[in-house]
Structure 1
Amino acid sequence: MLAKQAAPKRAHGAANRVRIVGGRYRSRLLAFPDGTGLRPTPDRVRETLFNWLGQDLAGWRCVDLFAGSGALGFEAASRGAARVLMIERDANAVAALEKNRGALGAAVDIVRADALAWLGGNRETFDLAFVDPPFDSDMAALALAGLAPHIASGGYVYVEQGAETAVPPGFVVHRSGRAGRSHFALLMKE
C-alpha cells in the first residue's frame, strides 16, 4: 500500500505560494521551495497578528529569525516597516527570498545564516521579532532564551510553533491563539 503524501502548500490554487494579506504588496504571491518543517504562517493567522499590531508599522525595526517563505517579513515590509531583516540558513529558501524581494521591489535585508548563531553575535535592537522556526522543532525556546537583549522596551516577539509558548523572563503574553496544530503568541517586552 502506498503512503499518503501531504498535500502541497497552496495559495489561490498554486502550490508553494503564499499571499501577502495587507499593505503595499497586498494580494501579491510569494513563491517558496519545499523544505522540511517549512509551513508558512496561514493568511488568517497573519491577518490576526497584524490586526493585533496595528496595520501601520512605519518606523519599526523587524527581524524574521527563521524566514523560510518570508511571509512574515514581507508582510512587515508591506506595512511600512523601516527595517526588515530576514535570517535563513537554507540556500534554496534564501534564493527564493531574494527572488521575491526583487519581484516586489521590497527594501528588506536577507542574511544566510543559522538564526541562533546569528542571534548570539548580533548587537542590534528590534521593535518586533518573528520566531517561526521549522515546525515541531525546539528552536523557538532556544531563540526566546537569548532574545530579550535584542528587543526594545515595549517591543514584541511573535512566536509560532506546535506547542504553547513558554514565556521567557522579561516578557508577557499580549495575545495568543491557535489554528489547527499551530499555537501562536504575541509577547511584549516589559
Structure 2
Amino acid sequence: MAKAKPIKKAAAGTGQIRLIGGQWRGRKLPVLNSEGLRPTSDRIKETLFNWLMFDIRHCRCLDLFAGSGSLGFEALSRGAKEVVLIEKDAKVAQQLQHNFASLPAAQGKVIHNDAERFLQTPASAFDLVFLDPPFHRELLPNVCQWLEENGWLNDNAKIYIEREQSSESLSLPTNWRLLKDKHAGHVIYQLYQRENAQ
C-alpha cells in the first residue's frame, strides 16, 4: 500500500518547459504529463522565433493545440500583445492557467475547448497562429480550412505548422504561401503567410 502512492504520482507527474528568450528568458514552467503532449524542442523553438523575430512584437497569437503552452508563452515573453491558448484536456488547461498567473502582466487567456469546436465559434482575427497538434490524428486539413474560411486570420497573418514527417502532403488554402520549411528528425516544421484571397 505504501508503494502505490509514488507509482500513481509518477504516472500523473509533471515535466517542465523553459522559456528561451525575451523578458522571461530562463523561466521554467511546470507541464502536466498527458497523452499526446509533445512540447516543441528548444532547438526548433529557437529556429521558429528567429523566423518570427520582426513579426512577434505587438501581435495577437492563437495557440490552437496549446498542450504545454511552450509556443504561446514564448511568444508572450518575446513581446506578443496577447496570446489565446486552446486546450482540450481539462487538467492541462488548468495547469496553463496557473502558469499564466505566474507570469507578471501576461496578456491572454486559456480556453478549455476542442480546437475543431473552437473554430466553429464566432471568430476573432489573429496575426499569428501556432498549429502543433497531436501526431497521427489528421487534424490539420480541417483546422487549416476553417482558420481561412471562418475569419480567424488577419491579412498577411503567419501560420506555423509542426507535424510528423511521415504524413502525406497537406491540402492547405491556396492563398497560404510557404515561407520557411525545415525538418528535425521525424518532425517537419513550416511557416506560412496568408495572402489576401483573390
- How much has 1:165 moved relative to structure 2? 4.2
TM-score (norm 2): 0.84
Q: Which residue of 2 aligns with 1:92?
A: 91
Three-state SS of the structure 1 residue aligned to 2:107 is coil
- In the TM superposition, structure 1's runs of 4+ consecutive aligned residues that sit over 6 Å from their partners are none
Q: Which residue of 1 aligns with 2:74?
A: 75
Q: Which residue of 1 aligns with 2:161?
A: 159
- How much has 1:87 moved relative to structure 2? 0.6
- How much has 1:152 moved relative to structure 2? 1.2
Three-state SS of the structure 2 residue aligned to 1:46 is helix
Report the number of matched residues: 177
* Of 175, 186, 190, the match for 2:191: 186
Please provide the CA RMSD for this pair.
1.7
Deviations 1:53-97 (A, max 9, x none): 116622201100010000000011111111110011101111110
Higher Rg of the two aligned structures: 2
Q: Which residue of 2 aligns with 1:64?
A: 63
Q: How does 1:31-180 map to 2 (within 5 A)?
A: 31-54=30-53, 57-105=56-104, 106-148=106-148, 149-162=151-164, 163=167, 165-180=170-185
Structure 2 unaligned spans of 5+: 1-9
Q: Percent of aligned positions with the same letter in both sequences?
A: 38
Contact 1:60 1:128 in 2 (8 A): yes
The range that moved more, 49-58 or 59-68, is 49-58
- How much has 1:188 moved relative to structure 2? 0.4
Structure 1 unaligned spans of 5+: 1-7, 9-14
TM-score (norm 1): 0.87
Three-state SS of the structure 2 residue aligned to 1:146 is helix
